[in-house]
Structure 1
Amino acid sequence: MKDKKLHQSDLSVIAGVGYFENIPAKEAPSGWTLGIVKLPDEQILVSDYKAHRIWRIDQKGILHTLAGDGVPGNSGDGGLAINARLNGPHDLALDSQNNLYFSDLFNNSYRKIDLNTGIITKVVGSGAVGRGGEGGNALNAEIDTTSGIAIDKKGNIFISGEWDNNIRKIDATTGLISTFAGYNARHYFSEKNNSRPFTGRISGGSYSWETGLSLGGFHGDGGPAKYAGFLHPEHIVFDNDGDLYICDNSNNRIRKIDMKSGVITTVFGNGQFASNGDGGPATEASTCMPDSIFVDSQKNIYVGEKNGYRVRKVDGKTGIVSTLVGNGTPGWGEDGLKGNETLCNSCESGLWADSDETVFWSDCSGRVRKIDGKSKIVTTVFGGTSIHDDGPPEKAFLRGPGGIAVDQQNNIYFADIWNQRIRKIDENSEKINTIAGNGGRGFAGESEIATSACLGSPHDISIDKNGEVFIADTRNSRIRKIDAKGIITTIVGTGTAWDKGESGKAIDAFLYQPQSISHDNNNNLLIGDGIGKIKKVNSKTKNIETIAGIGIQGYDGDGGPAIKAKIGCPSAIAFDNNNNLYFSDTAFHVIRKIDAKGIITTVVGNGKAGFSPDGTLSENSMLNTPWGLAVSKDNRIFISDSKNQLIRTISESNTIVTIIGNQENETPSKMIEPHGLCLYNDDKMLLISDHCDNKIYSFNV
């Protein structure tokens, strides 16, 4: 961008429109659309996981907010839903009394909105992460990852436990919670007393399982659902007869519980990780990680596939399966094409079918789309038909901007995470364009033009001294590079999320969902790996080595070798003039430093999430999920204190200072959740990505 646009003392938006309403939903920006419910009066309700809202689309197609003010949080129960704070609303369900239920993912709870009064209340979950509370009041129960929700005709609530591998029931009369199907089974790497997923490497490269725990799996068909095995059951729905259908996601099956007999069976899927079998019986066909489901009045089953990139239908009369939308290739589907001609991204959570077989689904391009039951033409209902490239950046649609970088010509680059793209703001033309990614979430396009490639929620970018662009292709567990000709290739990682390859060629090494990348003063590439390590790729030999972390997330080792320390999740990496490495650790809320001798120390934060006022000594201060980090040429540190909605720095007296945002937390900051930071224009300007409000800001420092 030109200097005249950036040299302002105030906080200025340089890219992104954010969110707005009272316009046609088809033209409105969205975050990450998930749950869908259509009301009897034809209004459509949509949960937006990244906007922290539930939207309402009226009969004329105009967009309104139903619940949430857009700031992630947990408040407002007992009051109007529109004033409440939500944190990752996920699945939706409607009961017969005009109440809307939803899973509030990061609040570890389920909530209800009375659509007659607009009042919101919590109905399940204490807010604590875990699996306790069996047999007690549902409001006191622990929840380990909220997922699907469905309500039967009696008002009983059923919820699926993705990581518990079970289905639980909340009795409408007593409010007591109990396990209805499956059992308390874990299916992930774990440490003792840790109920959350753990991905640490144990010595020798093998993983251990906590004793006394059963693993999720597949068994029990033809018998009582109570004893069935599930593997990441996602979304659930009742049919008109009151039978319960379950997306048994990682078993690649749709399963049904006959609610009269209690017997469970598979109705779609043979367990293969594939998407085929159209024209034949659904039980002999494959479905690839089914993630969303709807059953209409004719018992037609509609299924959205997470990794099959299709919307499929099982005929209620014949049991024959067919594909309605998609061809198995992820991408940004265009409007006006028939379902079998357009691309489809992962279908997660949201699916609805009208009586005329018009189907609505949430496409992980961030849009709600529909296929007409008669013409089979696909159109966009909500989220825009374009991201508005090749125009003014302040009018572009962004979705979860993350890491930012600047090249030697002052062009600005950023990871547009949920748009599955890397975008560039050109210094001369002052236009925004995509330089990598076609909008499809997946892995494709290797050794081709980068704009035709599929990316996997890329979180960060870095530009080396040669002007080549490097991408932390997070979900694909790779580092990819765009060369001067615009060709994209993988330079680190096999694509398997694992921790292996401590030395040797980077291309043969394993990464685990890398969150951050940066180049040091010698043009070596540094990688913040989600496994709890920082790795370095030598610019000359292309060999990789670990320089920090042991592969078990933790917080220790200050004053000793970084290679022996425990670290958490390095979300940003930066260097000072002396080539000292700094990284932000969102898991343990600290900024740490690795000096030239490989010694690690903490420079900001005490390891606890919280807020400390200005003037607190940096080593005694509390941060809350510090995502972004930048270090100026005069070694000044800038931090995005994300959950506190602040940008902070360290004074000469080694105390913490707020430069953007309201540190008293009495009124909202201009920014909702700052993530990426980058210095610009000879360190005169600080660029900031607001991950939740979908904007890029500039600030004169």
Structure 2
Amino acid sequence: MICNITLGTALQWNLTGVPVAGDGNIGKNANNLNQPQWLHIDANGSLYICDYSNHRIQLWLPGATNGTTVAGDSACNSGSSSNQLNHPQGIEFDNNGYMYVVDAGNNRVQRYSPNSNNGTTVAGIAGGGGSATNKLNQPSGVAVDAAFNIFITDSGNHRVVKWALNATNGIVLIDGSAGGAASGQLGNPCGILLINGSSNQVYLSDQSKDHIQIWTFGADTANTTWSTANGANLNQPAQIALDPYGNLYVADMKGKRVVVICANSTTGTVILGTDTSSTPTLKQVGGIAFDSNLNLYVSEMTLNQVYKYTRL
């Protein structure tokens, strides 16, 4: 079975997902995952997983049966020390190979130099969240531009903020809280992608508004909004990803599916999960990512595995 979508270029994937990380059991061992969320795949095909409820980032090499902890406590203890995490949710890398992790439970973003398990806080303050410009409140997603500015979906504060590297305070770019220019427009933003490397326009997924939007920083309203796929509303969309052809993919968490919004389209199309014959049956999609061959990887939070859907 294949999924065949004509997007200027025909893209097809095998609809049978092959487990590439996790054994399906909740646990703290190297072969286990516990509610995996965001994913990142580097140029070598190495898979980085936000192992959310194990409070760690796991690196899974191609063909490996075990992961290696590259951030957080390998014993899966949560904490706020430099070598600990508390429910990591988002992940990104900059052009110099530094890793950025949204440490959601600690209300901060941690930056890791290559081959180091000790993070440096580059946004927020460990501990209780807040709305001051030096704080975050339940952050979800992160993006980094070529100048190493850090863009964060500050979900609990209903806003998007930018932190310059080494800054002690962030700048609010989109404010969806009461009284903000975008009041009522932004609920709980989650996924974030800079558009064409731009530092002033982004794609956002919103988990309380159940839609995807394009925002230009400084605008009062979103440029574009998508909220449906195959006639059904999105349901807590999480991580988002782009392919080289400008098509946007959505991990529709509670919708139990992966959706593509084709370039210049006004609605989404389901490619995996609900309304398809894909296997396994998706129950809670936490993250998505592509490798260099456009094979699609999906993290399944309920099944505690990451699956690979091979491009045909």
* TM-score band, normalised by shorter chain: 0.5 to 0.7
Distance 1:58 1:296, change over 3 A: farther
**Of 98, 121, 131, which residue of structure 2 is paired with 1:275?**
131
Alpha-carbon distance in 2 for matches of 1:263, 1:184: 12
> 1:126 Cα shift?
2.3
Which 10-residue stretch deviates more, 158-167 or 315-324? 315-324
Aligned residue number for residue 346 of structure 1: 188
Asked if the contact 2:59/2:69 (under 8 Å) is kept, the reply is yes
Matched, 1:149 2:39: yes
**1:378 pairs with one of 200, 222, 225:** 222
Give the AA of the match of 1:245: Y
What is the match of residue 290 of structure 2? none
Q: Does structure 2 conserve the Cα–Cα contact (< 8 Å) formed by 1:159 and 1:168? A: yes
How far apart are residue 233 of structure 1 and its match?
1.0
Of 205, 230, 234, the match for 2:85 = 230
1:126 alignment counterpart? 23
Name the SS of the counterpart of 2:223 in structure 1.
Answer: strand
8 Å CA contact retained: 1:309, 1:328:
yes
- Cα distance in structure 1, aligned partners of 2:159 and 2:227: 19
Aligned partner of 1:362 in structure 2 is 205
Give the structure with the larger strand fraction. 2
Inter-partner Cα distance in structure 2 for 1:237 and 1:275: 23
SS in structure 2 of the partner of residue 148 of structure 1:
strand
Q: Deviations over 1:223-259 (max 9, x none)?
A: xxxxx12111111111111111011001000001111
Per-residue deviation at 1:176?
4.3
Contact 1:314 1:322 in 2 (8 A): yes
Alignment identity in percent? 20
**Other structure's SS at 1:163 match:** helix
Deviation by residue 1:91-119 (Cα, 9 ceiling, x = unmatched): xxxxxxxxxxxxxxxxxxxxxxxxxxxxx
**Aligned-partner SS, 1:344:** coil
| Cα contact 2:153–2:161 (8 A) shared by 1 | yes
User: Cα distance 1:216–1:267, how it changes in 2: closer, same or farther (>3 A)?
Assistant: same
Following superposition, the deviation at residue 317 of structure 1 comes to: 8.0
Whether 1:177 aligns to 2:21 is no
How far apart, CA to CA, are the structure 2 residues paired with 1:301 and 1:317? 10
Name the CA distance, whole Å, in 2 between partners of 1:145 and 1:55.
29
Q: Distance in 2 between matches of 1:166 and 1:310?
A: 26
The question of whether the paired residues in 2 share the 8 Å contact of 1:326 and 1:342 is answered with no
Give a deviation string over 1:538-583, Cα, whole Å, max 9, x none: xxxxxxxxxxxxxxxxxxxxxxxxxxxxxxxxxxxxxxxxxxxxxx
Q: Which residues of structure 1 form unaligned runs of 5+?
A: 1-53, 60-64, 68-79, 85-119, 135-140, 187-214, 221-227, 278-284, 331-337, 385-395, 401-417, 420-456, 458-644, 646-666, 674-701
Task: Map residues 170-569 of structure 1 onto 2, 5 A cutoff.
Answer: 170-172=60-62, 176-185=66-75, 215-220=77-82, 228-259=83-114, 262-271=117-126, 272-277=128-133, 285-316=134-165, 320-329=169-178, 340-348=182-190, 350-354=191-195, 355-357=197-199, 358-364=201-207, 365-372=209-216, 377-383=221-227
Q: SS state of the match for residue 288, structure 1?
A: coil
Gapped runs of 5+ residues in structure 2? Answer: 238-253, 255-273, 284-312
C-alpha deviation, 1:346, in angstroms:
1.0
d(CA) in 2 for partners of 1:169, 1:356: 28
Residue 381 of structure 1 and its aligned partner are, at CA, apart by 3.5
**Deviations along 1:396-425, whole A, 9 cap, x unmatched?**
96567xxxxxxxxxxxxxxxxx79xxxxxx
Give the C-alpha shift of residue 170 in structure 1: 1.4
The 8 Å contact of residues 339 and 378 in structure 1, kept in 2 or not, is answered as no
CA contact (8 A) 1:151 1:238 kept: no
Closer, same or farther in 2 for the Cα pair 1:234/1:310, shift >3 Å? Answer: same
Find the aligned partners of 2:44 and 2:154 in 1 and give their Cα distance. 30
Deviation of residue 298 (structure 1)? 1.8
What one-letter code is carried by the residue in structure 2 that aligns with 1:315? A
**CA contact 1:153–1:242 (8 Å) conserved in 2:** no
1:373 Cα deviation from its structure 2 partner: 5.0
Work out the number of aligned pairs and report it. Answer: 235
Q: The residue matched to 1:307 in structure 2 has which SS?
A: helix
Contact 2:38 2:50 in 1 (8 A): yes
The answer as to whether partners of 2:56 and 2:85 remain within 8 angstroms in 1 is yes
Which stretches of structure 1, 4 residues or longer, exceed 6 Å deviation after superposition? 54-57
Do the aligned partners of 1:235 and 1:291 also contact (CA within 8 Å) in 2?
A: yes
* TM-score for the superposition, normalised by structure 2: 0.63
Is the 2:161–2:173 Cα contact (8 Å) retained in structure 1?
yes
- 1:260 deviates by 5.1
CA contact (8 A) 2:173 2:218 kept: no
Deviation per CA, 1:482-527: give whole Å up to 9, x if none. Answer: xxxxxxxxxxxxxxxxxxxxxxxxxxxxxxxxxxxxxxxxxxxxxx
Distance 1:231 1:381 in 2: 32
**Structure 1 position 154, deviation (Å):** 3.4
- Partner of 2:157: helix, strand, or coil? coil
How far apart, CA to CA, are the structure 1 residues paired with 2:167 and 2:107? 21
Cα distance in 2 between the residues matched to 1:381 and 1:55:
25
2:164 alignment partner AA? D
Q: How far apart are residue 173 of structure 1 and its match?
A: 7.4
Aligned partners of 1:270, 1:55: CA distance in 2, in Å? 46
Secondary structure of the corresponding residue to residue 378 of structure 1:
coil
Distance 1:261-1:123 versus aligned 2 partners, 3 A rule: closer
Match of 1:596 in 2: none
1:287-313 Cα deviation digits (max 9, x unpaired): 001111111222111111221111111
> Partner of 2:156: helix, strand, or coil?
coil
Maintained 8 Å contact 1:367/1:380: no
Distance 1:275 1:254, change over 3 A: same
Give the whole-Å Cα distance in 2 for the aligned partners of 1:58 and 1:373: 29
Task: Please provide the CA RMSD for this pair.
Answer: 3.9
Q: Is the 8 A contact 1:185 1:216 kept in 2?
A: no
Contact 2:78 2:85 survives alignment (8 Å): yes
Per-residue deviation, 1:268: 0.3
Shift of the 252–123 alpha-carbon distance from structure 1 to 2, 3 Å rule, reads same
Amino acid paired to 1:128: N
Q: Is the 8 A contact 1:160 1:235 kept in 2?
A: yes
Greater relative contact order (Cα < 8 A, sep 6+):
2
Compared CA separation, residues 398 and 266, structure 1 to 2 (3 A): closer
Q: What is the CA–CA distance in structure 2 between the aligned matches of 1:363 and 1:121, rounded to whole Å?
A: 29
Shift of 1:269: 0.4
* Contact 1:325/1:342, CA 8 A, preserved across alignment: no
Match of 2:310 in 1: none
Residues 145 and 198 of structure 2 are in contact (CA less than 8 Å); yes or no, is this contact kept in structure 1?
no
